[in-house]
Chain A
Amino acid sequence: MHLHKFEKIWLIFGGITLVAFLITLGVNAFSHGHHPPSDLSRVQPAMVDQTAPFDKPGLVKTGENKYDLNMPSFVFGYAPNEIEIPLGAEITFHTTSKDVVHGFAIPGTNVNMMVVPGHVNSATTTFKKPGDYVILCNEYCGAGHHMMMAKIVVK
Protein backbone atom coordinates (compact mmCIF):
# COMPACT_ATOMS: atom_id res chain seq x y z
CA MET A 1 0.00 0.00 0.00
CA HIS A 2 1.35 3.36 -0.98
CA LEU A 3 1.45 5.89 1.84
CA HIS A 4 2.42 9.47 1.32
CA LYS A 5 5.47 10.54 3.32
CA PHE A 6 3.40 13.11 5.23
CA GLU A 7 0.84 10.47 6.13
CA LYS A 8 3.58 8.25 7.54
CA ILE A 9 4.96 11.14 9.60
CA TRP A 10 1.48 11.97 10.92
CA LEU A 11 0.69 8.36 11.81
CA ILE A 12 4.01 7.94 13.63
CA PHE A 13 3.44 11.26 15.44
CA GLY A 14 -0.08 10.19 16.47
CA GLY A 15 1.11 6.76 17.55
CA ILE A 16 3.91 8.18 19.70
CA THR A 17 1.47 10.66 21.26
CA LEU A 18 -1.02 7.90 22.11
CA VAL A 19 1.67 5.70 23.65
CA ALA A 20 3.06 8.65 25.65
CA PHE A 21 -0.41 9.54 27.02
CA LEU A 22 -1.11 5.95 28.00
CA ILE A 23 2.29 5.48 29.67
CA THR A 24 1.82 8.72 31.62
CA LEU A 25 -1.64 7.67 32.78
CA GLY A 26 -0.44 4.17 33.60
CA VAL A 27 2.52 5.38 35.67
CA ASN A 28 0.23 7.84 37.48
CA ALA A 29 -2.40 5.23 38.21
CA PHE A 30 -0.18 2.34 39.26
CA SER A 31 2.86 4.04 40.74
CA HIS A 32 1.48 7.33 42.11
CA GLY A 33 -1.95 6.01 43.02
CA HIS A 34 -3.85 8.71 41.15
CA HIS A 35 -7.25 7.34 40.38
CA PRO A 36 -10.83 8.52 40.41
CA PRO A 37 -12.28 8.68 43.93
CA SER A 38 -13.78 5.39 44.93
CA ASP A 39 -14.05 3.32 48.06
CA LEU A 40 -14.98 -0.26 48.62
CA SER A 41 -16.59 0.24 52.02
CA ARG A 42 -20.35 0.04 52.33
CA VAL A 43 -22.69 1.53 54.90
CA GLN A 44 -26.43 1.33 55.56
CA PRO A 45 -27.79 4.76 54.52
CA ALA A 46 -30.38 4.73 57.33
CA MET A 47 -27.69 3.84 59.90
CA VAL A 48 -25.04 6.43 58.96
CA ASP A 49 -25.43 8.35 62.25
CA GLN A 50 -24.80 5.17 64.26
CA THR A 51 -22.00 3.79 62.07
CA ALA A 52 -18.33 4.59 62.67
CA PRO A 53 -16.64 6.83 61.61
CA PHE A 54 -19.72 8.88 60.67
CA ASP A 55 -21.19 8.75 64.19
CA LYS A 56 -18.56 11.38 65.12
CA PRO A 57 -18.16 13.68 62.10
CA GLY A 58 -14.99 15.78 62.02
CA LEU A 59 -11.22 15.63 61.95
CA VAL A 60 -9.26 12.62 63.16
CA LYS A 61 -5.46 12.84 63.33
CA THR A 62 -3.90 9.83 61.65
CA GLY A 63 -0.23 10.80 61.44
CA GLU A 64 2.31 13.60 61.15
CA ASN A 65 0.27 16.42 59.60
CA LYS A 66 -2.22 13.86 58.29
CA TYR A 67 -5.90 13.84 59.08
CA ASP A 68 -9.05 11.98 58.18
CA LEU A 69 -12.11 14.18 57.81
CA ASN A 70 -15.35 12.24 58.12
CA MET A 71 -18.25 14.21 56.69
CA PRO A 72 -21.63 12.62 56.04
CA SER A 73 -23.66 14.30 53.28
CA PHE A 74 -27.42 14.78 53.54
CA VAL A 75 -30.21 16.99 52.22
CA PHE A 76 -29.06 19.80 52.24
CA GLY A 77 -25.67 19.99 53.87
CA TYR A 78 -22.58 18.34 55.28
CA ALA A 79 -21.57 17.64 58.84
CA PRO A 80 -19.68 19.47 60.21
CA ASN A 81 -20.89 22.58 58.45
CA GLU A 82 -17.68 24.52 59.06
CA ILE A 83 -14.27 23.16 59.96
CA GLU A 84 -10.79 24.53 60.58
CA ILE A 85 -7.85 22.71 59.04
CA PRO A 86 -4.15 23.28 59.77
CA LEU A 87 -2.16 24.70 56.84
CA GLY A 88 -0.19 22.17 54.81
CA ALA A 89 -2.05 19.19 56.25
CA GLU A 90 -2.87 16.20 54.10
CA ILE A 91 -6.59 15.61 54.47
CA THR A 92 -8.42 12.45 53.44
CA PHE A 93 -12.13 13.14 53.14
CA HIS A 94 -14.53 10.30 53.78
CA THR A 95 -18.15 10.83 52.97
CA THR A 96 -21.36 8.94 52.39
CA SER A 97 -24.96 9.94 51.82
CA LYS A 98 -27.81 9.51 54.28
CA ASP A 99 -30.47 9.87 51.58
CA VAL A 100 -30.01 10.62 47.89
CA VAL A 101 -27.07 11.02 45.53
CA HIS A 102 -25.00 14.10 46.34
CA GLY A 103 -21.79 15.66 45.10
CA PHE A 104 -18.73 16.60 47.15
CA ALA A 105 -16.50 19.05 45.32
CA ILE A 106 -13.94 21.54 46.60
CA PRO A 107 -13.15 24.10 43.88
CA GLY A 108 -9.40 24.67 43.46
CA THR A 109 -8.54 21.13 44.53
CA ASN A 110 -8.82 17.69 42.96
CA VAL A 111 -11.54 16.68 45.41
CA ASN A 112 -14.64 15.96 43.36
CA MET A 113 -16.68 12.97 44.43
CA MET A 114 -20.07 11.49 43.75
CA VAL A 115 -21.70 10.56 47.03
CA VAL A 116 -23.93 7.55 46.59
CA PRO A 117 -26.11 6.23 49.43
CA GLY A 118 -24.76 2.93 50.71
CA HIS A 119 -21.21 3.65 49.58
CA VAL A 120 -18.36 5.42 51.34
CA ASN A 121 -16.28 7.63 49.07
CA SER A 122 -12.81 9.04 49.78
CA ALA A 123 -10.46 11.62 48.32
CA THR A 124 -7.15 13.04 49.53
CA THR A 125 -5.77 16.52 49.09
CA THR A 126 -3.21 18.81 50.71
CA PHE A 127 -4.15 22.40 51.50
CA LYS A 128 -1.02 24.39 50.70
CA LYS A 129 -2.58 27.85 50.74
CA PRO A 130 -4.39 29.45 53.67
CA GLY A 131 -7.90 30.77 53.19
CA ASP A 132 -11.52 29.76 52.94
CA TYR A 133 -12.54 26.82 50.82
CA VAL A 134 -16.04 25.69 50.08
CA ILE A 135 -17.50 22.21 49.70
CA LEU A 136 -20.26 22.13 47.11
CA CYS A 137 -22.84 19.61 45.97
CA ASN A 138 -22.69 19.16 42.22
CA GLU A 139 -25.40 16.52 41.83
CA TYR A 140 -28.92 17.86 41.80
CA CYS A 141 -30.37 16.48 45.04
CA GLY A 142 -33.62 18.36 45.57
CA ALA A 143 -35.17 21.74 46.23
CA GLY A 144 -32.31 22.95 48.47
CA HIS A 145 -29.50 21.72 46.26
CA HIS A 146 -28.18 25.23 45.61
CA MET A 147 -27.95 25.84 49.37
CA MET A 148 -25.93 22.71 50.08
CA MET A 149 -22.43 23.68 51.13
CA ALA A 150 -19.87 23.55 53.91
CA LYS A 151 -16.90 25.77 54.67
CA ILE A 152 -13.28 24.84 55.27
CA VAL A 153 -10.98 27.38 56.88
CA VAL A 154 -7.29 26.64 56.34
CA LYS A 155 -5.05 28.37 58.88
Chain B
Amino acid sequence: MAQIQKQTDTKQSLPVPPQPEEETSLRGTFASVMILGTLIILSWLSAFFLFLERQ
Protein backbone atom coordinates (compact mmCIF):
# COMPACT_ATOMS: atom_id res chain seq x y z
CA MET B 1 0.00 0.00 0.00
CA ALA B 2 2.76 2.30 0.92
CA GLN B 3 4.53 1.38 -2.27
CA ILE B 4 1.54 2.32 -4.35
CA GLN B 5 1.32 5.60 -2.53
CA LYS B 6 4.95 6.22 -3.29
CA GLN B 7 4.43 5.46 -6.95
CA THR B 8 1.60 7.93 -7.26
CA ASP B 9 3.75 10.50 -5.49
CA THR B 10 6.47 10.24 -8.02
CA LYS B 11 4.01 10.32 -10.91
CA GLN B 12 2.37 13.51 -9.70
CA SER B 13 4.01 16.38 -11.50
CA LEU B 14 4.64 19.38 -9.35
CA PRO B 15 3.34 22.71 -10.69
CA VAL B 16 6.16 24.33 -12.58
CA PRO B 17 6.93 27.83 -11.26
CA PRO B 18 6.70 30.41 -14.07
CA GLN B 19 10.14 31.00 -15.45
CA PRO B 20 11.13 34.67 -15.38
CA GLU B 21 11.25 36.04 -18.91
CA GLU B 22 14.69 36.60 -20.18
CA GLU B 23 15.35 40.36 -19.91
CA THR B 24 15.84 42.06 -23.22
CA SER B 25 19.01 44.07 -23.47
CA LEU B 26 18.32 47.76 -22.82
CA ARG B 27 21.80 49.01 -23.58
CA GLY B 28 20.82 50.60 -26.89
CA THR B 29 17.74 52.16 -25.34
CA PHE B 30 19.80 53.52 -22.49
CA ALA B 31 22.38 55.00 -24.83
CA SER B 32 19.70 56.64 -27.01
CA VAL B 33 17.81 58.24 -24.09
CA MET B 34 21.08 59.48 -22.63
CA ILE B 35 21.99 61.09 -25.96
CA LEU B 36 18.50 62.63 -26.13
CA GLY B 37 18.78 63.86 -22.54
CA THR B 38 22.15 65.41 -23.25
CA LEU B 39 20.76 67.18 -26.33
CA ILE B 40 17.84 68.56 -24.30
CA ILE B 41 20.21 69.84 -21.61
CA LEU B 42 22.52 71.43 -24.20
CA SER B 43 19.64 73.17 -26.00
CA TRP B 44 18.24 74.43 -22.69
CA LEU B 45 21.65 75.72 -21.59
CA SER B 46 22.34 77.40 -24.93
CA ALA B 47 19.02 79.27 -24.80
CA PHE B 48 19.61 80.19 -21.17
CA PHE B 49 23.12 81.54 -21.73
CA LEU B 50 21.95 83.44 -24.81
CA PHE B 51 19.35 85.09 -22.58
CA LEU B 52 21.98 85.93 -19.94
CA GLU B 53 24.38 87.30 -22.52
CA ARG B 54 21.72 89.64 -23.92
CA GLN B 55 20.55 90.78 -20.50
Contact yes or no, A17 B37, CB < 8 A: yes
Bound-complex Cα distance A4 to B21 (A):
13
* Interface check A108, CB cutoff 8 A: yes
Contact yes or no, A21 B51, CB < 8 A: no
Among A5-13, A43-51, A76-84, A114-122, the stretch that binds chain B is A5-13
Contact yes or no, A4 B26, CB < 8 A: yes
User: Interface SS of chain A: helix, strand, loop or mixed?
Assistant: helix
Contact yes or no, B54 A21, CB < 8 A: no
Chain A: how many interface residues by the 8 Å CB criterion? 16
- In this complex, the interface size class of chain B, counting residues with CB under 8 Å from chain A, is 10 to 19
User: Interface SS of chain B: helix, strand, loop or mixed?
Assistant: helix
Closest residue of B by beta carbon distance from A108: B54
Q: Which of B6-55 contact A (CB under 8 A)?
A: 23, 26-27, 29-30, 33-34, 37, 40-41, 44, 48, 51, 54-55
* Interface check A34, CB cutoff 8 A: yes
* Interface check A38, CB cutoff 8 A: no
Chain A residues whose CB sits within 8 angstroms of the CB of B41 once the complex forms:
17
**Which one, B23, B26, B40, B48, contacts A24 given CB within 8 A?**
B48
Bound-complex Cα distance A125 to B30 (A):
43
Contact yes or no, B23 A13, CB < 8 A: no
* Interface check A14, CB cutoff 8 A: yes
